[in-house]
Amino acid sequence: MSLLRPLSAAALVVSTLSLLVACNENTLVRPGVTDVRFQSPPTEVDILLVVDDSCSMEDEQVKLSEGFADFVEFFDVADVDYHIGITTTDMEDPERSGRLVGSVPVISRDTENADEVFGDNVKVGIEGAATERGLDAAARALGETMTAGDNAGFFRDDALLSVIFVSDEEDGSHYGVNDYINFFRDLNGQRRRDSFNASALIGMDLELGEPADCGLNSLNPNLGARAAHRYFDVARQTGGVAASICEDDFAEVVNRMGLASSRLLDTFLLERQPRPDSLELTLYEDEADLEGLVLPQEDGPDYPWVYEQDLDAFEYRVRFTDLTQLPPVGSRLVIRYELY
């Protein structure tokens, strides 16, 4: 599974020490850096699921329908006010074409029997168009005509937006991927990078972490999935999750997508490349916490974490490995380290 995360709004404090040479000319004091990060998820998030309704998607819809509790877990942890709506990839049927499905088209905290409503809504059927146009469907669902008409009450101007694509085929929409990304970011008029993210449950090679055909069977064309590069590209560029639709169980995948949509962070980016053995993390759990909790790396009993880096992307990050022990909402994480 490819996991990508956006950088939260954060305060950064950098203190750089000049290189000093002590009496021993071989003794070097390295520059020190302090990054300060906050766990401050948004108060409102709107999540649109775009589910493939072509003839090969029945089993996948059933597995997805069982994942509501896993999906909303981190919304509950972060106390996020969510709207969940579901549409399909069919842009040929005028009764679909971006319209939200279900007798209760907008699922929120106030929805009675929300797990049952979600389960019914994601089982969108298998009679949709053979050409899947998920990006077009999402843009139509969130466009002015729909949000002022059939989809009224779903999209909120002040809410952050997540779109999740679930398909076993490549996207056949009309425009370039970046056109859709810019459209979604522009919806609330702010064009903030964190205002929108996307995730994709698609044909993928998990070992390579990239789109690929998976589970295909020449004797049964309804099995497996084709690589979906366009959905993957949207997820990659916006810091969402990309996962394989060929997995037997969607529980972990759906849980990760819920985490990404909630904007609750398990990963915190660093400003500079650290010397890994110099990393020191202190967690202040709330404003009243003046002492903080020092967090040992990896094997610590509380808030275990690891350091990761992608040198090609110039990306350096601290990732918390236990999703049940993420920095709590309202906490402050102080990361100190030396540079190479």
pLDDT tens profile 154-191: 999 999 999 999 999 999 999 999 999 999 999 987 66
Q: Do 101 and 55 reside in the same domain of the chain?
A: yes
Contact 101, 124 (CB under 8 A): yes
Q: Is residue 153 part of a domain?
A: yes
Q: Give the sheet arrangement for strand 44-51, strand by strand.
A: 2-3, 241-244, 196-202, 160-166, 44-51, 81-88, 107-108
Residue appearing with tokens 């918390």: 320
Q: Do 204 and 108 reside in the same domain of the chain?
A: yes
Q: Is residue 4 part of a domain?
A: no
In the predicted model, is pLDDT for residue 209 greater than 50?
yes
2 against 266, higher pLDDT: 266
Q: What is the pLDDT of residues 219-273, one digit of tens each?
A: 787 889 999 999 999 999 999 999 999 999 999 999 999 999 999 999 999 999 9
So what's the pLDDT on residue 226? 96
Domain end position, chosen among 215, 237, 262: 262
Q: Do 187 and 300 reside in the same domain of the chain?
A: no
Instruction: Tell me how many domains the chain contains.
Output: 2
Q: Is residue 191 part of a domain?
A: yes
Q: Is residue 20 part of a domain?
A: no
Q: Do 83 and 215 reside in the same domain of the chain?
A: yes
Q: Tell me the two tokens of residue 198.
A: 């996307």
Q: Is 66 exposed, middle or buried (0-12, 13-18, 19+ CB in 10 A)?
A: middle
Please name the residues in contact with 23: beta carbons below 8 A apart, sequence gap of 6 or more: none
Cβ neighbours of 11 (radius 10 Å): 9
In the predicted model, is pLDDT for residue 2 greater than 70?
no
Residue 71's φ and ψ, nearest 5 degrees, are: -70, -40
15 against 184, higher pLDDT: 184
Band of the pLDDT at 1, cuts 50, 70, 90? very low
Domain end position, chosen among 235, 262, 289: 262
Per the structure, the complete domain to which residue 94 belongs is given by 44-262
Closest to 35 measured CA to CA, from 268, 193, 319: 268
Residue appearing with tokens 């009764």: 95
Helical pair 177-186 and 229-238, crossing angle rounded to 10 deg: 40
Q: Do 36 and 78 reside in the same domain of the chain?
A: no
* HSE value, Cβ hemisphere, 13 Å, CA-based, for 128: 28
In the predicted model, is pLDDT for residue 9 greater than 70?
no
Q: Do 96 and 238 reside in the same domain of the chain?
A: yes
Band of the pLDDT at 13, cuts 50, 70, 90? very low
So what's the pLDDT on residue 190? 65
Band of the pLDDT at 17, cuts 50, 70, 90? very low
Q: Do 297 and 204 reside in the same domain of the chain?
A: no
Closest to 269 measured CA to CA, from 6, 33, 34, 3: 6
Closest to 37 measured CA to CA, from 258, 284, 236: 284
